[in-house]
Each structure stands twice: as structure tokens, then as C-alpha cells.
Amino acid sequence: KTHMIGKWHLGFFLDDYLPINRGFDTFYGYYSGYENYFTHVAEPYTCKVGVNCFYDLRSGSKPVMSAEYNTYIFAREAEIMIRKHAEDAFLTGGGNPFFLYFAMGNTHSPVAAPDSVFEKHGAKLNQIRNHERRVYAAATIVADEAIYNITSALKRNELFDDTIIIIASDNGGNPWAAGNNYPLRGMKNDLWEGGMRVNALIRSNLIPVERRGTTYDNIFHVSDWVPTLLRGALKDGLLGTGFDGVNHWDALTGISDHIPRIDLVYNIDYSGGEVSGAIRIGDMKLLKNVEYSDVWEVPGENEPDKTKQHFAKKLDFLFNISADPTESQDLRGDSSYRHIFAHMNLEFSKLQLSMVDPAFCGAAYDSLADSVYEEEEFIGPFMQNQSYKCIIKDSAEEVLHISKIECGYRLHSPEFCDGVMNDV
């Protein structure tokens, strides 16, 4: 059985895009990219109070009304799912595996935490002078408690020892929403290390005792999780072929000294008629046609310096990312790195030629979607036209559409977004 709880954010304009039609047997959560933690209003930064604001919480496809903090709901649903699985395994004699994708919103904006957290942990939280960072810390405590409750449920139901647990983030923090990546450069939505490099951990009884508590230093891409987990769970080999990622299990567990990955594509994409991206080969990282970004210090009592942002001019950069993870010394103009710079540009061009059209479909759907949402006051599938053609790639319409999406996630300055959101 496969279960999904929490944030979906992989499309819902057609029924075909819903979790229960994309491989999950059960779903409890929200379709959009973020919601108000208490009211469950979808993406509140993109709607005006009382106008075009709709709920986003479902059990399967059934709308759910609630005023409870969503991470508490999701952790409880995970505990229920684990208990049911254990009961079914007992009745059938066991042997049936399960997969749970638990995607809680903490600590995505709009960052919030229940009053009870501040009351219980006030002595610790009040040491944080910055209000936004204090709330962020409280939301992190909620995340920690949710993980504790789920792992406790696994132990109570005698599933913990046979379960591989992964905890991982999806991107770097957003300083405009209380996040921080110091001392790494950049922020969420960047190709700089602050936007891309995140923490992760893996817990399993299959990991040798001497490897537990250690740090894995090899390059690891998100696409590597599937072949790595399949190797760990199946032991004797992988199911299927053609994975985008590579298997790290033998390296993680110390079975092999082989380094599974020596290169990495951060991203290569078109924007405004220009190609930009970043790749890594060994120690070296090339950023191509990107805006320079600041290092955001951890804010003190005052709000972070929101005048810090990207510089409009797009350039190429070259860094030894192993020796210089903060990307402070650009080696592009260093004559001793001339051949490396040329080689990495050549590899970038080869990868660019292999690009395929994105699966993302930008749809200028505001009026059609709102008319459907208003019927039940919840967001959900609104288009039945299976032959709908997406916005033309890189057109002015698509650029505006994506800019509106990014502004909804506070990824641009307020001044920029005021103009974008008022453009119809």
C-alpha cells in the first residue's frame, strides 16, 4: 500500500494529476503549494481577504472543514494509517510492505505555530529576539514532535525495526519568510548553494552499527532516493531500469568504497528567451547566466535586510565548491582554471541539447478555476478538457504566469510583486 499525507503540489487542474491517480492508494492533505496552518485557506498570499480565497484540505477527494493546526492533523492521520497497517498485517499473516510519503508544511510560509507551543517552550523561544525567527523555531518544534509521534507509532505497532525512515528538505530557506541559509549564499529558488543544499538523514536497522551517526559526504541528488531505497529494501537488486538517479546504498552502508556520483545537474532552463542553469563536476561548479546573490546573515532583533536581493545583471561563475562552499571566490577569470571553465561550458552545452519539454503546464485559469472553486469553496480539479494546450513556452503569458506563482511564494521583492500581481 502507498499513502500520501500532507502537501501535494504536483498539479490538480485535471483529475489525472491528483495523488490517488498518480500511484497513491490513500491521500489526506492539501493540493496546493502551501496553506494557512489553521484555516486551511490555499495559498493565502495570492488571494485577498474574503475574495478568491478557498479552502484546501481533503481526505481522499472529500473536502474537510477544520480549524486545527494542520501538522497535528497529519501526524494523527499517519498514526492511524500505521495502526491500520499493523492490524491488517496481523489478520493476513504479515508480509505486505507499505510506503508513506509524509509531507508536512512546517516550516513553509505563512509560518505559524499554536499558542500552546509558545507557552510550553517559552523559556527557550524567548531567547530568540527576532519575532519571525521565534515563530519559525516554534514551528520547527511542532515538526520535531510530529516526527516523534510517528516514530513512536511505528514502535508501538512493532514496525519500527523493519522501516527505513528518510527525513529531507526540498530546498533552501527563504529569508523573506524567516528562513536562513547562512553561511551559504542565496535563497530558495536560487541555483546558489543556499537555495539547493539541504540537510537529510536516513535511519534503518539495515545500516551497520558502526555507520550510524556518521555523515555521508558524497554528492547526493533527490532523484537518487528511489534506486537507493530499492537497493536497501530489496537487498538483492533493483526493480526496473532507466532510473534518473543512482544507487548510494552500498556506499552509505560501507559495503563499497565506490563513489556513486561525481557530477550533478542543479537545473538547466529557459527564462525570458535565455538559458540559465548550474552543473557540478567533481569539486567544480559552473553557474551559467544567473544573477549574483547575497549571503543573508541570521537576523537579530530587527527584520532581515530585505534590500538584499539579486543583482539584475546575469553572469557566469565558476567555483571550487568543495573548498569554497560559500561561493565567495569566483575562479572564472583565473587563467589556471581556463581549461576547466571551457570544459564545463562544453558539458553544459551537451546537457542543454538533451533537454526535453517540461511537464509543467502553465494555465491562465483564474476565472475558470474560481467559478469551480466557488461551488464548494474548496480548490480542486476545474478543467475537463483533456486536450487543453499549455501556454506557449517562454511566451510573455508564461513569463507573467510564472512570475505570479513565484510572487505567491514571496520569492521576489514586494515592489516587483506589486506590479506583477496587478498585471491582468
Alpha helices in 182-319 (DSSP H): 193-196, 225-234, 249-252
Mean pLDDT of 42-53: 76
The pLDDT-based confidence of 47 (bands split at 50, 70, 90) is: confident
- Residues forming beta bridges with residue 318, ordered by sequence position: 286
Cell 528562513 belongs to residue: 179
Mean pLDDT of 317-342: 97
Mean pLDDT of 404-415: 76
Determine the Cα–Cα distance for residues 109 and 304; give it in Å rounded to an integer.
16
More reliable by pLDDT, 237 or 41 = 41
Structural domains in the chain plus CATH codes: 2-261 (3.40.720.10), 264-354 (3.30.1120.10), 373-421 (no CATH)
pLDDT of residue 176: 87
Mean pLDDT of 173-183: 92
pLDDT of residue 372: 84
pLDDT of residue 405: 78
CA angle (33, 286, 193) in 5-degree steps? 40
Residue 125 pLDDT exceeds 80: yes
pLDDT of residue 1: 92
Lowest mean pLDDT among 26-30, 232-236, 275-279: 232-236
Q: What is the pLDDT of residues 292-306, one digit of tens each?
A: 998 998 888 776 665
pLDDT of residue 347: 97
Q: What is the pLDDT of residues 272-291, one digit of tens each?
A: 678 999 999 999 999 999 99
Determine the Cα–Cα distance for residues 277 and 284; give it in Å rounded to an integer.
14
Q: What is the pLDDT of residues 190-224, one digit of tens each?
A: 999 999 999 999 999 999 999 999 999 999 999 99
The mean pLDDT value of the chain amounts to: 89
Lowest mean pLDDT among 51-60, 172-181, 235-244: 235-244
CA angle (371, 374, 378) in 5-degree steps? 120
Q: What is the pLDDT of residues 347-399, one digit of tens each?
A: 999 999 998 877 666 665 566 777 888 888 999 988 776 666 677 777 777 77
Instruction: Kindly tell me the sign of the dihedral angle through the C-alpha atoms of 62, 63, 66, 69.
Output: positive
Max mean pLDDT among 57-66, 350-359, 381-390, 402-411 falls in: 57-66
pLDDT of residue 387: 65
Residue 309 pLDDT exceeds 70: no
How far is CA 29 from each of CA 34, 78, 114, rounded to the nearest angstrom?
A: 11, 11, 19
Q: Calculate the CA dihedral of residues 284, 288, 294, 298 and round it to 10 degrees.
A: -60
The alpha-carbon radius of gyration of the chain (Å, integer) is: 23
Q: What is the pLDDT of residues 135-173, one digit of tens each?
A: 999 999 999 999 999 999 999 999 999 999 999 999 999
